[in-house]
């Protein structure tokens, strides 16, 4: 089995991105709609190389080609129409990043009917072409969206897409369409899709800013005040600002509180105490706090 990236398909010839041409003896199955013998890539191609009968020389017998977004990014897409849709989505993603928001774009590869319908239905495949989520800078989820690429314009195709739209809009989110079928000019379809994307983005930003502005008022009304902002980190090498504790300004009572053990105590005048002697185990009281320490020392059996 050979697996490589092809630039294009020309009938039974696979043209690799390196320019090498490989002729396949059997069929080349290609995922997605397309017309003509020339299909533009890039494609990821798997080629079965074997002997036709087990005795003859090995040769490329058959191949499968699946389109992907670019030569350097192998994100699978269903068609060249989806490549253009993805280009618009990545442009929208970059613009939202400039506004401070994160857009996550995914390509579903499996049936999503369990999510959208709550169950799996064998006769109803639910697989949006693209899904997206918008997050704020602080990782808050804001809104989701789905994108459907309208690549054909036949009645059966339109009916199937209409049924899919009804299912995809059952969940909260925003539904977007990229009209890429032959009945509309390519530039017109892309411009319309781009406008719908940016309208959705601007509405999401406005809603988020309005809710953020109203949050403090709601918190105050409910008594749930927001947390204070975090203290900024001190730059390396900068001195820390030390704030000395300040004593509480309490009234000084005229007499000692009742209930204390020991001899009766009287409160001296604030300026009557003398300074303590350096190194003394029984220091002289210094001001009001020193006097209180001296009384406690006496109550506990301290002696001069």
Rounded mean pLDDT for each run of 10 residues along the chain, 304 residues in total: 91 91 92 73 93 86 92 87 93 96 94 90 89 95 96 89 93 93 86 95 95 76 59 49 45 45 46 41 52 66 56
Whether 62 and 99 map to the same domain: the answer is no
Q: Residue 113 falls within a domain, yes or no?
A: yes
Q: Residue 91 falls within a domain, yes or no?
A: yes
Whether 131 and 176 map to the same domain: the answer is yes
Peptide bond into 279 cis (omega under 30): no
Q: Residue 163 falls within a domain, yes or no?
A: yes
pLDDT at 214: 83
Q: Residue 237 falls within a domain, yes or no?
A: no
103, 90 contact by CB (below 8 A): no
Whether 97 and 167 map to the same domain: the answer is yes
Whether 99 and 190 map to the same domain: the answer is yes
Q: Residue 230 falls within a domain, yes or no?
A: no
pLDDT at 73: 85
Whether 150 and 123 map to the same domain: the answer is yes
Whether 176 and 103 map to the same domain: the answer is yes
Whether 61 and 113 map to the same domain: the answer is no
Give me 108's structure tokens. Answer: 């579903």
pLDDT at 184: 85
Residue range of the domain that includes 135: 80-213
Domain boundary among 213, 239, 257: 213
Whether 10 and 134 map to the same domain: the answer is no
Q: Residue 103 falls within a domain, yes or no?
A: yes
Whether 9 and 59 map to the same domain: the answer is yes
Count how many domains the chain has. Answer: 3
Domain boundary among 16, 43, 67: 67
User: What value, to the nearest 5°, has the Cα angle with vertex 107 and ends 189 and 134?
Assistant: 80
pLDDT at 28: 92
Using the structure block, give the residue that is written with the tokens 């064998």.
122
Whether 201 and 132 map to the same domain: the answer is yes
Domain boundary among 67, 94, 121: 67
Whether 61 and 84 map to the same domain: the answer is no
pLDDT at 296: 67
133, 161 contact by CB (below 8 A): no
pLDDT at 153: 85
Q: Residue 28 falls within a domain, yes or no?
A: yes
Whether 41 and 84 map to the same domain: the answer is no
Q: Residue 226 falls within a domain, yes or no?
A: no
In the chain, the DSSP E strands lie at 2-10, 13-16, 21-23, 28-30, 38-50, 59-67, 102-106, 130-135, 141-150, 174-179
User: What value, to the nearest 5°, has the Cα angle with vertex 16 and ends 12 and 17?
Assistant: 145
């Amino acid at each position: 089995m050979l697996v490589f990236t092809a630039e294009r398909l020309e009938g039974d010839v696979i043209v690799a991105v390196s320019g090498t041409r490989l002729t396949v003896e059997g069929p080349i199955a290609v995922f997605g709609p397309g017309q003509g013998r020339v299909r533009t890539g890039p494609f990821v191609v798997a080629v079965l190389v074997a002997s036709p009968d087990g005795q003859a020389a090995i040769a490329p017998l058959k191949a499968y080609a699946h389109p992907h977004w670019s030569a350097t990014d192998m994100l699978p897409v269903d068609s060249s129409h989806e490549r253009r849709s993805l280009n618009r989505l990545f442009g929208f993603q970059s613009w939202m990043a400039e506004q401070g928001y994160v857009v996550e774009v995914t390509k579903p590869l499996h049936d999503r009917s369990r999510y959208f319908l709550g169950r799996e239905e064998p006769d109803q495949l639910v697989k949006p072409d693209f899904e997206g989520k918008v997050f704020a800078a602080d990782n808050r989820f804001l809104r989701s969206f789905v994108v459907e690429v309208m690549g054909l314009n036949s009645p059966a195709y339109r009916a199937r897409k209409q049924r899919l739209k009804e299912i995809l809009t059952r969940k909260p989110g925003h539904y977007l369409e990229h009209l890429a079928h032959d009945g509309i000019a390519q530039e017109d379809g892309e411009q319309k899709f781009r406008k719908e994307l940016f309208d959705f983005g601007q509405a999401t930003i406005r809603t988020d800013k309005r809710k953020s502005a109203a949050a403090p008022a709601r918190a105050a009304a409910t008594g749930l005040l927001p947390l204070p902002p975090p203290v900024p980190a001190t730059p390396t090498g900068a001195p820390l600002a030390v704030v000395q504790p300040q004593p509480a300004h309490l009234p000084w009572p005229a007499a000692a509180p009742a209930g204390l053990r020991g001899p009766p105590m009287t409160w001296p005048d604030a300026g009557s105490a003398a300074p303590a002697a350096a190194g003394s185990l029984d220091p002289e009281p210094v001001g009001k706090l020193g006097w209180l320490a001296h009384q406690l020392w006496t109550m506990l059996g301290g002696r001069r």
